[in-house]
Amino acid sequence: MTTLSVRAPIAWLGPGRLVERAQIVCDGGAVTYAGEATYIGHADREIVVDGLLMPAVADRHVHIELSSPGEVLAGGVTAVRDLAWPADRIFPLADASELPTFDGPLIRAAGPMLTAPGGYPTQDAWAPPGTGREVKSPEDAALAVDELVRLGAAAIKLSLNAEAGPTPSDAELAAICDAAHAADVPVSAHAQGKGQVERALGAGVDELAHTPWTRLSDDVIQTAATRMRIVSTLDILSFGRDTPEIRTALDNLRRFHVAGGEIAYGTDLGNGEIPPGIHEREARLMREAGMEPEEVLEAMIRAPLEPDAPADLIELASSPLEDLSALGDVRTVIRGGRVVAG
């Protein structure tokens, strides 16, 4: 294994852990030391940077083949979760991404979205054939989950988009959640249209793949905050403009956050003009929803820097704890203990 030592005047290792005169030591793909620069010992490669070190970013909602994996990695994102793509394309790519020489982030994947016959995204131009898997009965729905789990699905993506076609029945919904939970795999739903978040809650869905942009009642928000995680994907609702959708989504997310709900950073990369790499505007929208800068960072990282954590880290020119726009200036990217950019 090759060892790497990185020193910096300051590092944010994770929540509550801001360290001056910092050093991170990696052995192959894992961190062996993260803290003050007191580590003594030889590393095969030693670098000194003058910015801020922090854990690299994970994007929990992408469609990686609609973007450029190499640019995603060079932009500071070392792990992604692909939430809908044909199984015969995404699972082999996810396997390939585990190699340290892969020019892109580590990819985990859901495979196709489970949907009703003719439902979203089977009629949508962005989605190649096989991006949706139509389920025809509760039995078929359970079978579809088992197939995806066998292929290595990291999550089951469920389409509850009532504005773009039919959705699975309540019985199919329950069968999907039961089969996924029996295999210890979470269910992530695209819930859109009146009453769809309520249906997801009733069936035991674990995550909303987007912040909903139809207003949720306080009761629904309260219940969701105890049972579900929300993946942010705020910027796809406005792309830097002011829209009714972004206002409603920010209001939903603000109340969800106040109620103690868990929020994860995700961009829906591949949908519209989302740039590859860290998306600074998404982080600033999370801040606008009431999250403190450190909470935003916590929602964005793959894992805190500590022994046995993945050796995935980035150097920024300045501190994002003071101004999140620092996330737009990535100088160095390290994935699996190897410097891949900078």
Per CB under 5 A, residues contacting Zn ion are 268
Residue 63: CB minimum distance to Zn ion, A: 6
Residue 101: CB minimum distance to Zn ion, A: 28
Q: Quick one: CA dihedral 274, 277, 280, 283, positive or negative?
A: positive
Residue pair 243/223 in contact by the 8 Å Cβ criterion:
no
The nearer residue to Zn ion, 59 or 268, going by C-beta atoms, is: 268
Residue pair 112/145 in contact by the 8 Å Cβ criterion:
no
Residue 331: CB minimum distance to Zn ion, A: 29
Cβ atoms < 10 Å from Cβ of 184: 7
The nearer residue to Zn ion, 14 or 277, going by C-beta atoms, is: 277
Backbone angles phi, psi at 78, to 5 degrees: -105, -5
Contacts for 188 with CB less than 8 Å, ≥ 6 apart: 83, 110, 155, 156, 157, 158, 205, 206, 207, 208, 209, 231
Residue 269: CB minimum distance to Zn ion, A: 8
The nearer residue to Zn ion, 207 or 268, going by C-beta atoms, is: 268
The nearer residue to Zn ion, 268 or 298, going by C-beta atoms, is: 268
As a whole number of angstroms, the distance between CA 213 and CA 330 comes to 31
Residue 182: CB minimum distance to Zn ion, A: 25
The nearer residue to Zn ion, 205 or 311, going by C-beta atoms, is: 205
